[in-house]
């Protein structure tokens, strides 16, 4: 009887200690859920929220992918057209597209954070968004490594850092694996065709140029300005790329607007044509600066490796 009484006497303080720790943990969790968070967005502006965002609107398809990857899916209340990944994003209320936003719908959804595509959303509409006094985070990753950074920043704003940091780590591993595999491969000169009429490409500041470099390629028009320069057919012929790459049809690029590469076959002495190095990659994987670009990069790396096997002369 004495032993049982003594055990009970020792058990009561232990239970009280467990309850105290549990209550303290819950208090800390509640405190962190309402603590102010501050990050710097891709425009260099400071974004501060009094508490992690609970109602988020995305104004670009790549932003939608980033938010879901960062664990913010349950907090999404609206998105623009073509926000089709992951599949559940298709069910989000639409608030317009990159050309025209439905400002009334945005107001009605009562967001506490709007994530904006810095150069994709019209400046006049961005000014109207600022008048709403809702915090704006400008998203425009320019380098492959920026995507992991974007995930961690969005995770902080959403209060989902555990999920966001894990997604960033997986993405970094995917890119590091490709970088290690192709870092020492022979250079392949590449012309990336954005559009055919007029003929448009991307310069070295665009993320796709970073993907080309990751795969051991060289963007033949990296030094041009602006970000999406117009070039002539003669300029492409003079550069004589060993591979020509474009984006295949995706959600944001219907079949009717797919740039055609077959027209280059009119110049059979062009290195890319002579060796049949004309490649198209799913536009949603290569054009969107979001985690799936690692899949697009893998496809491009495989294509450039094929180009190496077909090319009989060194890169110019």
pLDDT (0 to 100) of residue 248:
87
Instruction: Dump pLDDT digits (tens) for 258-293.
Output: 557 989 999 999 999 999 999 999 999 999 999 999
Measure CA 96 to chain center.
Answer: 20
- At residue 313 the predicted structure's pLDDT band, cuts being 50, 70 and 90, is low
Between CA 164 and CA 149 the distance in angstroms is 10
pLDDT at 28 over 60: no
CATH code, residues 185-310 = 3.40.50.1980
DSSP state of 99: S
Q: Does domain 37-171 have CATH number 3.40.50.1980?
A: yes
In whole angstroms, give the CA distance from residue 285 to residue 292. 6
Query: 246 - beta bridge partners?
Result: 193, 280
Report, as an integer, the average pLDDT of 235-240. Answer: 98
CA distances from 116 to 92, 190, 293 (A): 16, 31, 19
Give residues with Cβ within 8 angstroms of 43, minimum separation 6: 118, 138, 140
- Enter the tokens of residue 125: 């509409």
Q: Quick one: average pLDDT of 59-66?
A: 96
pLDDT band at 100 (very low <50, low <70, confident <90, very high): confident
Give the tokens for residue 226: 């602006």
Sign of the alpha-carbon torsion through 237, 238, 242, 247 = negative
Give the residue extent of every domain in the chain. Answer: 37-171, 185-310
Percent of the chain having pLDDT more than 70? 83
DSSP line for 7-60: HHHHHHHHHHHHHHHHHHHHHHHHHHHTS-EEEE-TTS-EEEESS--SSEEESS
Using one digit for the tens of pLDDT, what is the confidence trace for 192-235? Answer: 999 988 999 999 999 999 999 999 999 999 999 999 999 999 99
Residue 34: its pLDDT value, please? 59
CATH topology agreement for domains 37-171 and 185-310: yes
Dmax (CA) for the chain in angstroms is 100
Q: In the numeric block, which tokens belong to residue 154? A: 């969005």
> Which has the minimum average pLDDT: 9-23, 76-90, 102-116, 173-187?
9-23
Query: Does the pLDDT at position 63 exceed 50?
Result: yes
Residue 299 has pLDDT above 90, yes or no: yes
User: SS in 3 state form for 214-272?
Assistant: HCCEEECCCCCCCCCCECCHHHHHHHCCCEEEEEECECCECHHHCCCCHHHHHCCCCHH
């Amino acid at each position: 009887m004495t032993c049982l009484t003594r055990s009970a006497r020792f058990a009561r303080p232990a239970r009280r200690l467990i309850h105290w720790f549990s209550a303290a943990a819950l208090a800390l969790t509640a405190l962190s859920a309402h603590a102010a968070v501050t990050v710097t967005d891709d425009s260099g502006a400071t974004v501060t929220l009094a508490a992690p965002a609970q109602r988020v609107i995305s104004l670009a398809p790549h932003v939608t992918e980033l938010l879901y990857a960062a664990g913010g899916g349950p907090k999404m209340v609206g998105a623009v057209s073509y926000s089709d990944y992951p599949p559940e994003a298709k069910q989000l209320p639409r608030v317009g597209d990159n050309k025209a936003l439905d400002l009334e719908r945005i107001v009605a959804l009562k967001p506490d954070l709007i994530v904006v595509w810095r150069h994709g959303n019209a400046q006049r509409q961005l000014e109207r968004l600022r008048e709403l006094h809702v915090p704006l985070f400008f998203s425009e990753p320019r380098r492959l490594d920026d995507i992991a950074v974007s995930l961690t920043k969005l995770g902080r704003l959403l209060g989902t850092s555990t999920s966001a940091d894990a997604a960033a780590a997986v993405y970094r591993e995917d890119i590091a694996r490709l970088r290690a595999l192709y870092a020492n491969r022979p250079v392949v000169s590449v012309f990336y065709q954005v559009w055919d009429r007029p003929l448009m490409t991307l310069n070295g500041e665009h993320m796709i140029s970073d993907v080309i470099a990751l795969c051991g390629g060289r963007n033949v028009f990296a030094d041009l300005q602006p970000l999406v320069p117009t070039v002539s057919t003669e300029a492409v012929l003079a550069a004589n790329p060993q591979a020509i790459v474009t984006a295949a049809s995706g959600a944001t690029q219907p079949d009717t607007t797919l740039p055609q590469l077959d027209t280059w076959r009119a110049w059979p002495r062009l290195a890319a044509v002579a060796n049949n190095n004309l490649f198209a990659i799913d536009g949603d994987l290569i054009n969107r600066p979001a985690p799936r670009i690692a899949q697009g990069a893998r496809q491009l790396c495989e294509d450039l490796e094929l180009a190496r096997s077909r090319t009989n002369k060194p890169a110019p």
